[in-house]
Amino acid sequence: VVSIHRPTKAIIDLKAIKENVENEVARLPKATDLFAVVKANGYGHGAIETATAALEGGASGFCVATVDEGIELREAGFSEPILVLGIVSVADIGLLSYYNLSFPVSTNEWLQEAAAFLQKNPVTNPLKVHLKVDTGMGRIGFISNEELLSAVKWLQEQSLFTWEGVFTHFATADQADDTYWQEQNQRFQTALACLPELPRYVHAGNSATALWHAEAVGNMVRYGIAMYGLNPSGTALPETYPLKPALSLVSELVQVKLLEKGAGIGYGETYITPQAEWIGTVPIGYADGWLRKMQGFSLLVAGEYCEIVGRVCMDQLMIRLPRSFPAGTKVTLIGEDNGQCITMQKVAEQLETIHYEVACTLSARVPREYKS
Ligand SMILES: Cc1ncc(COP(=O)(O)O)c(CNc2conc2O)c1O
């Protein structure tokens, strides 16, 4: 259940998303499309709202991870091209046709299985295939160019299939050392050179590729993390233009008290006040995706950093305050407050992870409030 009767909420700035897309569209080589990657509920930002803002910014299609995420967009009324990025079960290809969802194919076996399935389960709308080439991500994709070529030749003879795309995915586009990126890019170009023709979409890029490898081949970029205003490399590579972070996370103090020296805070009494201290309680915890490892991280109250003291609970946490504040005072967990800023990157560093994971693991209990 989304808990709206609680001051904790994520605020999504849709104008930032729109502008991040506009800025990228403006710098893309001409005739290169931008598909907004809105999988995982728009990296936790809200798929439908993000997709709407991305369209306004000039996106011409969407990428999702699963058939269901594609269906969600269609049922919300989006008619633009939608590419499912994950392998789809042959048993579900009726859905791909019905909802007009493009999808990846990475083996000839899948195509043969699909042909057999279609014998008994004919579809009306053509099945739009993007052939995936594994150039070094080691996840999904054709490994040999021979296999890729035989898939192309087979598709060219089919009436129920449209060969709509060929693509690959880079594993190190967000790193300063581009050695492996160059190897993958070369493999992709070699694969393309083997093909008798090219389909409507040739695409290789995620945000990092679009930002730092403009030389990548293709006529479409799959733009995810940078659309949300987050630097794909974390802090490893400079942003080529200012990315506007879209998500902030706020709450309020629900109780403030002065505790004497020696008072235990939180489960396991892992914090004992070394002196009399003002302690505030904030209604957010690990069930909201604000994980226990955030103990020791500081939140912003009236522009001052206040350390999370004691263990983060399932639904609440406690912070040390510099002085008394009234209950209801705003607490900023991610975002700007009185000239200070807590970035999602900082949260990721505390968790020894990446900001993608922080964004995606904000739980459904946290309401998303949209401003444009
Ligand atoms: C095939 C594919 N294309 C594009 C993107 C967008 O990447 P970006 O958000 O860096 O622009 C992803 C993101 N996939 C993942 C991001 O983190 N883990 C992943 O599997 C992807 O898997």
Over residues 258-280, the pLDDT tens digits come to: 999 999 999 999 999 999 999 99
Q: Is 37 in the pocket of ligand 1 (CB under 6 A)?
A: yes
CA 369 to chain centre: 18
The H-or-E segment that residue 339 falls in is none
Best of 24, 66, 82, 222 to mutate for ligand 1, by most ligand atoms within 8 A of CB?
A: 222
Question: For the purposes of burial, counting CB atoms within 10 Å of the CB of 350, is it exposed (0-12), middle (13-18) or buried (19 or more)?
Answer: middle
CA atoms within 13 A on the CB side of 12: 25
What's residue 28's pLDDT? 93
Query: In sequence order, what are the residues at sequence separation of 6 or more whose Cβ sits closer than 8 angstroms to the Cβ of residue 303?
Result: 337, 338, 339, 340
Beta-bridge partners for 40 = none
Q: Pocket of ligand 1, candidates 21, 37, 133: which has the most ligand atoms within 8 Å of its Cβ, to mutate?
A: 37
DSSP 8-state assignment for residue 77: T
Q: What is the pTM of this model?
A: 0.97
Distance CA 198, CA 165 (A): 8
Centre of ligand 1 to C-alpha 224, Å, is 7
Q: State what percent of residues in the chain have pLDDT above 70.
A: 100
**Distance (Å) of CA 16 to CA 12, 44, 54, 271:** 9, 15, 10, 39
**What b/e string do you get for 46-71 counting C-beta neighbours within 10 Å, with b at 16 or more?**
bbbbbbbbbbbbbbebbbbebbebbb
Does ligand 1 come within 6 angstroms of the Cβ of 232? yes
Give residue for tokens 């087979």: 154
3-state helix, strand, coil in the chain (%, to 5): 30, 25, 40
For 84-113, how does the pLDDT look when each residue is reduced to its tens digit (9 = 90+)?
A: 999 999 999 999 999 999 999 999 999 999
Which residues are marked as active site? 39, 267
- Phi then psi dihedrals of residue 305, to 5 deg: -80, 125
Residue 214 pLDDT: 87
What is the band of 30 on the pLDDT scale with cuts at 50, 70, 90? confident
> Taking the mean position of all CA atoms in its chain, how far away is CA 161?
29
Rounded to the nearest angstrom, the gap between the alpha carbon of residue 280 and the centroid of all alpha carbons in its chain is: 32
Task: Tell me if residue 248 falls in helix, strand or coil.
Answer: strand
Helix or strand run (H / E) with residue 317: strand 317-321
- Tens digit of pLDDT for each residue in 307-344? 999 999 999 999 999 999 999 999 999 999 999 999 99
pLDDT of residue 295 exceeding 90: yes
Residues in the chain, overall count:
372
pLDDT of residue 205: 86
Q: Which of 163, 167, 169, 168 is nearest to 200 (CA)?
A: 163
Query: For 231-251, how does the pLDDT look when each residue is reduced to its tens digit (9 = 90+)?
Result: 999 999 999 889 999 999 999
AA identity, residue 8: T
Q: Which atom of ligand 1 is nearest to the CA of 207?
A: 11
Does the C-beta of 206 come closer than 6 Å to ligand 1?
A: yes
Instruction: Work out the mean pLDDT of the chain and round it to a whole number.
Output: 97
